[in-house]
Amino acid sequence: MSDNLFGVPGLDARSHVVELRRSDRGTPLVCFPGSGGDPRIFCEMAAALGEPQSVYAINMEWLCHARGRFTVEQVAALYLDVVRSIKGAGPYCLCGYSFGGIVAYEIARRLQEQGHRVAFVALLDCPNPSLEADLSPAASAEFRRAYLADRLGRYAHHLLRGDLRAFAGRALAFLISRSSERLMPLIKAAFRIANRPLPAIVQSNDPGFLHAWKSYRPPSSSSDLVCFRIEDRGAEHDRDPSMGWAGYTSGNIDVHVVPADHVGMMSAPSVNMIAETLSSCLRDSNSFGLAPGHSKKPLAPSG
């Protein structure tokens, strides 16, 4: 992968692997963080796992400094060999939080194309980017109405409670994520000149990640998916507990509802529920071997 695709000098994907937990037993879990790329988001989850497997996270913070647009396919291609070097012949256990979920999904799909075995892909609050595009015009209009009503209700709730900090935080995150292509490079350049790190709110709402998310159209897959949907995700997702993934895999889909918001799900006590479910998946991965053509599990959300 050429550095020129990302505009980041000295790019070495192998150096992006962060070891969160080491063990000589079981199948390693490889995790991809969300927008902003901070691998520390998985620290509490790794510590809470009941199984003695190794856990690795991929540091993708460097994507905040990419000079041009990037795609999910480019990121997946960059890290495909890195994942293979961690596990070798498989089976592979992949996990992705938010944006990292679609990177993990794409890597799993490519591994299977090459004849490798993937035990499961865990999607942590990661809606399918094609969800709304796959809806009928009437269903899409209803989705948008539910989204708008939910978000306006949340903003009004903050204002009525006098929680101006929460209101301002949501508004600032919205503005940053939708900054123009000309404005965001100037903001990043200013911080580089000042030799200061980008603020967390800028990294976590980077418009480069948002563009890559929106432009990705997931191909079909045979991966088993473990979907964790937050309780706070929004009424627009109530009709489809899988958040759009059900029609994209011939494998099993398990859906779990986490009583938290998008950020809070990765901290105790909510992350303990995620860790318990992943521990069970990791135990199963050690005796992985589903027969071809196995049927899907029902999409009954638990939580």
For 108-118, how does the pLDDT look when each residue is reduced to its tens digit (9 = 90+)?
Answer: 999 999 999 99
**Average of per-residue pLDDT across 268-288:** 89
User: Cα(113)–Cα(102) distance, rounded to whole angstroms?
Assistant: 16
Residue whose C-alpha is closest to residue 84's, from 105, 107, 100: 107
pLDDT computed for residue 295 by the predictor:
34
pLDDT computed for residue 231 by the predictor:
85
Dump pLDDT digits (tens) for 132-187: 888 777 777 776 776 666 656 665 655 667 655 654 555 555 555 555 555 665 56
**Average of per-residue pLDDT across 124-136:** 87
Contact 119, 83 (CB under 8 A): no
Whether residue 290 is predicted with pLDDT greater than 50 in this model: the reply is no
**Average of per-residue pLDDT across 232-248:** 82
Q: Which helix (H) or strand (E) holds 46?
A: helix 43-48
Whether residue 67 is predicted with pLDDT greater than 70 in this model: the reply is yes
Per-residue pLDDT band for 205 (boundaries 50, 70, 90) equals: low
Residue whose C-alpha is closest to residue 278's, from 35, 20, 86: 20
Q: Which of the pair, 100 or 139, is modelled with greater confidence?
A: 100
User: 59-73, 137-151, 274-288: which has the minimum mean pLDDT?
Assistant: 137-151
Handedness of CA 4, 8, 11, 17 (dihedral sign): negative
pLDDT computed for residue 136 by the predictor:
74
pLDDT computed for residue 30 by the predictor:
97
pLDDT computed for residue 285 by the predictor:
83
Q: Which helix (H) or strand (E) holds 122?
A: strand 118-124
Question: Which percentage of the chain shows pLDDT scores above 70?
Answer: 70
pLDDT computed for residue 12 by the predictor:
87
pTM: 0.79
Dump pLDDT digits (tens) for 9-65: 667 898 999 999 998 877 899 999 998 899 999 999 999 998 778 999 999 988 887
Question: Which percentage of the chain shows pLDDT scores above 90?
Answer: 48
Whether residue 83 is predicted with pLDDT greater than 50 in this model: the reply is yes
Q: Which helix (H) or strand (E) holds 44?
A: helix 43-48
User: 27-31, 209-213, 222-226: which has the minimum mean pLDDT?
Assistant: 209-213
pLDDT computed for residue 274 by the predictor:
97
pLDDT computed for residue 3 by the predictor:
46
Considering all CA atoms of the chain, what is the largest pairwise distance in Å, rounded to the nearest integer?
Answer: 57
- Residue 3 structure tokens: 């550095």
User: Cα(121)–Cα(236) distance, rounded to whole angstroms?
Assistant: 24
pLDDT computed for residue 229 by the predictor:
93
**Average of per-residue pLDDT across 200-209:** 67
